[in-house]
Copies of this chain bind each other. A is one copy, B any other.
Amino acid sequence: MSDAEKGSVGVGLIGLGTIGTGVVKVLKQNADVIQQRLGFPLELVRVSDLDLETDRGVDLDGVTFDADSEALINDPDVDIVVELIGGFDVARRLILQSFEARKHVVTANKALLALHGAEIFGKAAQQGVDIAFEASVGGGIPILRSVREGLAANHIEALYGILNGTTNYVLTEMEATGEAFDVVLKRAQQLGYAEADPAVDVDGIDAAHKLTLLAGMSFGAQLTHKEVSTEGIRGLLPVDFEAAREMGYRIKLLGIAKLHRDGGRQRLEARVHPTLIPRSSLLANVDGVMNAVVVIGDAVGETLFYGPGAGEMPTASAVVADLMEIAREIRRGTAGRVAPLSYLPEVLERKPLVPLGELFGRFYLRFTALDRSGVLGHLTGVLGENEIGIESILQKGQGEAAQSESGGATGSVPVCVLTHPTREAAVRSALERIDELPDVTAPTRLLRIEERF
């Protein structure tokens, strides 16, 4: 029986972890609304997971449940395979096997797509099947779909995203409580907001994965996350939040991508780092584990999309939206025609990246220097020689905490500076000299600032 004639569209789910369990719940609990919108049911026919014992609190009656993901892929009742095991090798193999079996795939695996996207999208096109991955960026926020469809008539100019809930929680708490990074991270781990090994989140890698996919969708750019300049939130101190607040900013880990058009030449700016943004902006007021993405298009202007960036049910909401879209296409006999990155595959291209040194704007600098007369003069002297103007200086008193946390010697204090607009390259070369001054007892921390919101 062909797909088009069947009463329902069959779903096979590989990976019954948190998100997978959420998908089962949404398919069951919201079967009514799914059918009222589609006109036919989405039927969960098969689930595979290595762990067949744990009780996930969901009813799998009538669903084949075993550890055999290859049998699932080849089950003729499965039209769409949902890959939710994460990771690289096994997930990649199962997705490619699904394509070979002419099965459409829905995945939340940003890490895999940010590295092997070109291969995976190419194979899907070759087999004439769809791959959808709304859940991989922004959890429940329909951000990829909004760029792909809702803003499709725009040249997208820039993206600014709070793309990682763990780091946004840590930053929000550090600012609210004045506590140190390690203290807040530990609490996040206890609350289940951070992994035991938090590196992928706190070092900005997860955000870079997501930015890679967003940039592909927005700019038609072929990119891997390894090309995204990535800097995490380790090393931020309570004094940074205090100084930022006094200067009118808040600190957020942003994924930023912009397309530079110099005549016919296009270059891509793609970076993840802690960023100072104006306190009054909406993005600055996105707190806790929530995510948000600002998208600026040449016709629409500034838009913002906000919602829960992770979690069982929000992420499942995005997975099932993808399932519904593909199922509708299957029933129409037109599946396999969606361009995964919205731009036609043949126009996707690698675009040269803009080096960080070219960035132009204000910078926040936190120097750590001995608290004695003349030090400020040395710092500002070197900045002046590099033609870097100073907009404001905040010198925090002899803080024991500050000096030890920042790694400065006894008697060191933080000096926080907001520069006038300048090139990052100029700042970098000034810092090279400054960090060699005898009064400077720890490397200077540079934070970038984005003003356009």
Contact = CB atoms under 8 A, between A and B. Distances in A.
A33 B149 contact: no
A6 interface: no
A307 B304 contact: yes
Nearest to A42: B153
B297 A286 contact: no
B301 A307 contact: yes
A4 B307 CA distance: 39
Contact of A152 (B37, B297, B344): B37
B142 A151 contact: yes
Contacts of A285: 280, 282, 285
A91 to B, nearest CB: 23
Contacts of A234: none
A224 B202 CA distance: 49
A156 B415 CA distance: 50
A274 interface: no
Given A140-B303, A304-B306, A307-B301, A344 B145 contact: no
B324 A332 contact: no
B302 A308 contact: yes
Interface string A139-151: 0111001100111
Given A36-B343, A302-B308, A146 B140 contact: no
Contact of A306 (B282, B311, B324): B282
A154 interface: yes
Nearest to A296: B307
Interface in A3-32: 22, 25-26, 29-30
A317 B149 contact: no
A41 interface: no
A320 interface: yes
Given A39-B344, A142-B149, A153-B30, A314 B299 contact: yes
A57 to B, nearest CB: 16
Nearest to A314: B300
B347 A36 contact: yes
Nearest to A148: B37
A339 interface: yes
Interface in A146-178: 146, 149-155
A220 B34 CA distance: 12
A286 B292 CA distance: 15
Contact of A332 (B149, B337, B347): B337
A145 B149 contact: yes
Nearest to A306: B304
Contacts of A77: none
A37 B344 contact: yes
Contacts of A34: 152-153
A185 interface: no
B297 A317 contact: yes
Nearest to A339: B37
A300 B308 contact: yes
A152 B145 CA distance: 12
A308 B294 CA distance: 13
Contacts of A307: 300-304
A305 interface: yes
A93 B40 CA distance: 34
Interface of A: 22, 25-26, 29-30, 33-34, 36-39, 134, 140-142, 145-146, 149-155, 220, 280, 282, 285-286, 292, 297-308, 311, 313-314, 316-318, 320-321, 323-325, 332, 334, 337, 339, 342-344, 347
